[in-house]
Amino acid sequence: MSYLDRAAYSGAGGDSLAGKPLRVRLLYALGVGVLGYFTFNALVLLAIVQFVYYAVHKSKNEEIAHFCENLLSYLGEVLAFMVFLKDTPPFPFAPFPGNETGSR
């Protein structure tokens, strides 16, 4: 499922903040925003590592690609929460993307 799929933002997998004071949501948004910032930087670093790996081995590293897919899904959840597309805060308040049904 794509991180852009609106069905992914239905609020499943955690406590919804709907109906709670706006300042509570602000605190959650600041916290997950910091995590989102580090996630974005990790994705950029992993993109560089994947590029170097591809340049050397002429194929992508599947483990890095899968991990980046999960990080990208998480970043999408962070942004969806911050712009009010979903009311459930993402990880660490809900399961990390890719771990809901087990790992590959």
pLDDT tens digits for 6-32? 444 444 455 777 777 888 888 989 999
Whether pLDDT at 2 is above 60: no
**Torsion sign across C-alpha atoms 1, 48, 80, 18:** positive
Question: What pLDDT, on the 0 to 100 scale, is given for residue 74?
Answer: 93
- Find the Cα–Cα–Cα–Cα dihedral 66, 39, 51, 1, rounded to 10°: 30
Whether pLDDT at 103 is above 80: no
4 φ, ψ (degrees, to nearest 5): -90, -5
SS3 9: helix
Query: pTM of this prediction?
Result: 0.75
Question: What pLDDT, on the 0 to 100 scale, is given for residue 14?
Answer: 57
Q: Give residue for tokens 């899968």.
A: 66
- Structure token pair of residue 34: 């910091």
